Amino acid sequence: MAVRDMFNLGPQWDLIQLCPAALVWASDRGCRQLAKKTISVLVFMATLHLIALLPGLSAQQQPERKPLRFDFTSFVGYRTSISFPVEPHVTGMNPRVVVDASPSYGVSLGLRLREEDLVEVRWSRQDSYVHSEDITPQPSRQHMILDQFHGDFSHEPFVEDWPSWAKPFVLASVGATHVSSSANIHFTRFSFGIGGGIRLYPSRHFGFKIQAEWLPVFADPQVAFICGVGCIVHAGGTVASQGEVFVGPILRF
């Protein structure tokens, strides 16, 4: 005889029989939901790790950028006057030949031995005039062109707290200076320079340079200037100097 008939149980017995199955089904459902949540969390964490690793993987996959080796600069500037003392010297007087201050311009091409070290070949021209002081008879003012050919050696030292696009530099240069005038005066003499400046790089291939330099020129008595008909004066000093300041764009490649 069935338990239901023995104890005269009604529909309640059916509910009692269903309870264990319901509990098992509910338990399985909870486990399934927990498993789904766990899998979702694991997928989310794996996605976060992948996102974090992507920049590093991308950087490893990208080839390293080729360093830029050459700098080309065109510039305009201003040169101060330069004076040559002359012989014979008269006591109480200071006779000299003076090259007037005037604008200058030029170009330079450089090779970077290292990122912070640059070797350049620079040509600079000053279109000016020559006049004399304390010389009798007083010669007329003459047109003159000064061409300077220098090798520039510059270094960009690391300066803490400076932005990476601003590069201050120190400079030493050596070369020759050629002077020619309308009076058939031509001479070339040894010259050198010491200076510095700053290079500004708004982009990888383009920048600006500001430079200031002291430029001595060696002279000797063989350097002659015409002071009139039958009158020639000779430079009596050994060194004459001038300064130059210029600014110009830089192309890097």
* Per-residue pLDDT tens digits for 10-35: 555 554 554 455 444 445 565 566 55
Domain extent listing, the chain = 1-64, 70-252
List the single range of 49-58, 112-121, 172-181 with lowest mean pLDDT: 49-58
Top-confidence residue, 143 or 32: 143
Structure-token pair, residue 223:
């350097």
List the single range of 72-81, 143-152, 223-232 with lowest mean pLDDT: 223-232
d(CA 196, CA 149): 18
Q: pLDDT confidence of 86, banded at 50, 70, 90?
A: confident
For residue 78, give the amino acid letter.
Answer: Y
The confidence score (pLDDT) of residue 221 equals: 57
CATH tag, 70-252: 2.40.160.20
209 touches 167 (CB < 8 A) = no
User: With 80 as the cut, is the pLDDT of residue 121 above it?
Assistant: yes
Q: Which of 31-40, 140-149, 163-172 has the highest mean predicted lDDT (pLDDT)?
A: 163-172
Phi, psi of 64 (to 5 degrees): -65, 135
d(CA 180, CA 235): 15
**Cβ neighbours of residue 139 under 8 Å, at least 6 residues apart?**
131, 132, 225, 226, 227, 228, 231
210 touches 77 (CB < 8 A) = no
The confidence score (pLDDT) of residue 17 equals: 55
The confidence score (pLDDT) of residue 19 equals: 47
Nearest alpha-carbon partner for 95 in 236, 238, 241:
236
Coil vs helix vs strand at 54? helix
R_g of the chain computed on alpha carbons: 42
* Per-residue pLDDT tens digits for 222-239: 666 666 555 666 666 678
Calculate what percentage of the chain has a pLDDT beyond 70.
66
User: With 60 as the cut, is the pLDDT of residue 211 above it?
Assistant: yes
d(CA 242, CA 10): 121
User: With 50 as the cut, is the pLDDT of residue 135 above it?
Assistant: yes
The confidence score (pLDDT) of residue 45 equals: 58
DSSP per residue over 97-122, as a string? Answer: EEEPPEEEEEEEEEEEEETTEEEEEE
Structure-token pair, residue 125:
């021209």
Q: Biggest alpha carbon distance in the chain?
A: 156
Q: Which residues sit opposite 247 in a β-bridge?
A: 76, 210
